[in-house]
Amino acid sequence: METAVVVVIGADKPGIVAGISSKLAEKNVNIVDISQTVLRGIFSMIMIVDLDTGHVSVGQLREELQRRGKELGVEVLVFHGEVFKFMERI
Amino acid sequence: MKYSAEEIAEVINMLTHEDLDIRSVTLSINTLFAVSDVPERTLEKLSLLRPVLSRFSEVVNSVQDKLGVNIVTRRVAVSPVQYFLEPYPDVKYAVKLGGFLDSLATDTGIDYIGGFSAYADRGIGRGTQVMLEGLAETMNSTSRLSGMLNAASTQEGLNVDAVKLFTAQLLKMSPHASSRVAIMANSPQDSPFVPSAHHGRGMPNSSINIAVSGPGVVAGAIRRARPTTFQELYEVIKKASFKVTRLGELVGRVVSEELGVPMGSVDLSLAPSPKVGDSVAEIIEAMGISRVGGHGSLTALAILMDAVKKGGSMATNLVGGLSSAFIPVSEDSIMAMRMREGYLELNDLLAMSAVCNSGIDMVGVPRDEGPEKIAALILDVLSLGLMLNKIVGVRVIPVEGKPGEEMDLGGLLGKVVVAKMKDVDSSQFTSRNGFIPTPVKRLELG
């Protein structure tokens, strides 16, 4: 499975999860893991998504999600899953 | 694969706040197929590289986009020009060849092309002689070409004549030109860093070599862990270095696969940049030396070097290049600041070179100090390499300025601080000709 890690950070408000996940759904990208917290009004979410099901490259997905993030007023970071596998697993 | 939120946060923090990036992806390529005694024929054959370099540049951009990891420069290392000049030893041709390589880089989106280089450890061959005679003119008329003269090796000796020829050329160069040349001892054959990068002997026809950055990651790890014993300090650096190198290994493997060129080596060196938080000196200061240059700096650097090697070597299949802690003064904002403040002097850098492979790198020297004194400084560094069987180099920038003044070269090169040279005449020593014979260490090899 080719995965990407999506990180979303910003001031909490309604619609952030919906805004990001609807974009993923639009691109047929499946969410395989998700964790989300709000600490002192700061929203943070980490998602692992499966790129195999989608019809989009990581670069395009990053561009689309960052555009959506701008509309929502949050910061979106997208990295390839291999980066985490290489750095956090031996 | 599942990761904890802490693991993900750690990687994100390194990539976004601690400036972890890939300093360079370097395509090392055997260009000796183009050697000819007809200069036009050589340039014609070298033109065949154009689509290869363009494709390389595109692949690196696409890998950067795919992984989300910043790749700062794309570089190409070609076979040393000394071999091209052997069958047609002419200074004008040397300059033309350098200009051609430079334009090849400009046209294909390559940041630096390394290989205007030669070996002259014991003697100066025909090709090397004209390369050296045309070095200043070539460098002054190019912007992406880099060159290196290997003037010493533990196996061959230290060629003082070559050092003097090099120094005479260096003094004719503009500051930008001199930032693209180095004089070395025991140069590695697979360096991804400029100016040492060239396609060395005994290498496959092409390979991908990687240079990582990430001093901010090591400094940050030390600050968070606050180790109380030296063993713990070692452990913290080893772990951080493993992760930094691992990112280099990943990028190298992906580029290699997509380009269809074998993966070469990863240089473990923590390359700094003038950005705040991307400094090797900051690591030394995070260890507890309040100003780099203070007593204890050498020990701190020795620990850093050794731990980086131990942690980093496990992260890659092949360690290459200089694999050291780089201490280029202008390219490291804190090194530059401490030099300006007077905590760091040339002899401190010389002492540091005994425990890391950097040598005296990106330091300004007053042009009016003259060739004898600068050659003597170079000899001091190369002698360390000769006697200790180490890779070291010198990249000094002759400038019209007084000690303590600085000159901004821009970008990754940063602000060059003019160092104070000793007010002592060594010209009688350097006036001798010839080379320094191989040291006793040579005998250990047979």
ipTM score assigned to the predicted complex: 0.90
Among residues B12, B69, B65, which one has the least CA distance to residue B213?
A: B69
How far, in whole angstroms, is CA B420 from its chain's centroid? Answer: 23
- The minimum CA-CA distance between B242 and chain A, rounded to whole Å, is 8
The answer to which of A17-21, B132-136, B240-244, B411-415 has the lowest mean pLDDT is: B411-415
Please give the pLDDT value at position A16: 96
- The minimum CA-CA distance between B111 and chain A, rounded to whole Å, is 23
Q: Are B11 and A84 within 8 A, CB to CB?
A: yes
Asked if residue B380 has pLDDT above 90, the reply is: yes
Asked if residue B1 has pLDDT above 80, the reply is: no
Task: Look at the block and give the residue holding tokens 């425990």.
Answer: B355
Query: B377: pLDDT confidence band, cut at 50, 70 and 90?
Result: very high
- B44 CB-near residues (< 8 Å, 6+ apart): none
Answer whether A9 touches B (CB < 8 Å).
Answer: no
Cα A51 from Cα A49, distance rounded (Å): 6
Cα B427 from Cα B429, distance rounded (Å): 5
**pLDDT tens digits, residue range B19-76?**
899 999 999 999 999 999 999 999 999 999 999 999 999 999 999 999 999 999 999 9
Answer whether A73 touches B (CB < 8 Å).
Answer: no
**pLDDT tens digits, residue range B396-417?**
999 999 999 999 888 888 899 9
Contacts of B3 in chain A (CB under 8 A): 5, 48, 84, 88
Please give the pLDDT value at position B360: 95
Q: Nearest-CA residue of chain B relative to A76?
A: B12
Query: B275: pLDDT confidence band, cut at 50, 70 and 90?
Result: confident
The answer to which of B24-33, B226-235, B316-325, B419-428 has the lowest mean pLDDT is: B316-325
Please give the pLDDT value at position B410: 83
Count residue pairs from A and B with Cβ separation < 8 A: 69
Please give the pLDDT value at position A55: 87
Residues 210-249 of B with CB under 8 A from A: 243, 246-247, 249
Percent of chain B with pLDDT over 90: 91
DSSP output for B151-219: EEETTTEEEHHHHHHHHHHHTTS-HHHHTTEEEEES--SS--STTT----TT--SEEEEEEEE-HHHHH
Decide: helix, strand or coil at residue B308.
helix
Determine how β-strand B360-366 pairs with β-strand B392-399.
parallel
**pLDDT tens digits, residue range A1-49?**
999 999 999 999 999 999 999 999 999 999 999 999 998 899 999 999 9
Query: A63: pLDDT confidence band, cut at 50, 70 and 90?
Result: very high
**pLDDT tens digits, residue range B303-362?**
999 999 999 999 999 999 999 888 899 999 999 999 999 999 999 999 999 998 788 999
Of A40 and B217, more confident: B217
Please give the pLDDT value at position B73: 95
Please give the pLDDT value at position B2: 79
Q: Global pTM?
A: 0.95
Q: Average of pLDDT values for A76-89?
A: 95
What does the mean pLDDT of chain B come to?
Answer: 96
Nearest to A80 among B66, B243, B249 (CB): B66
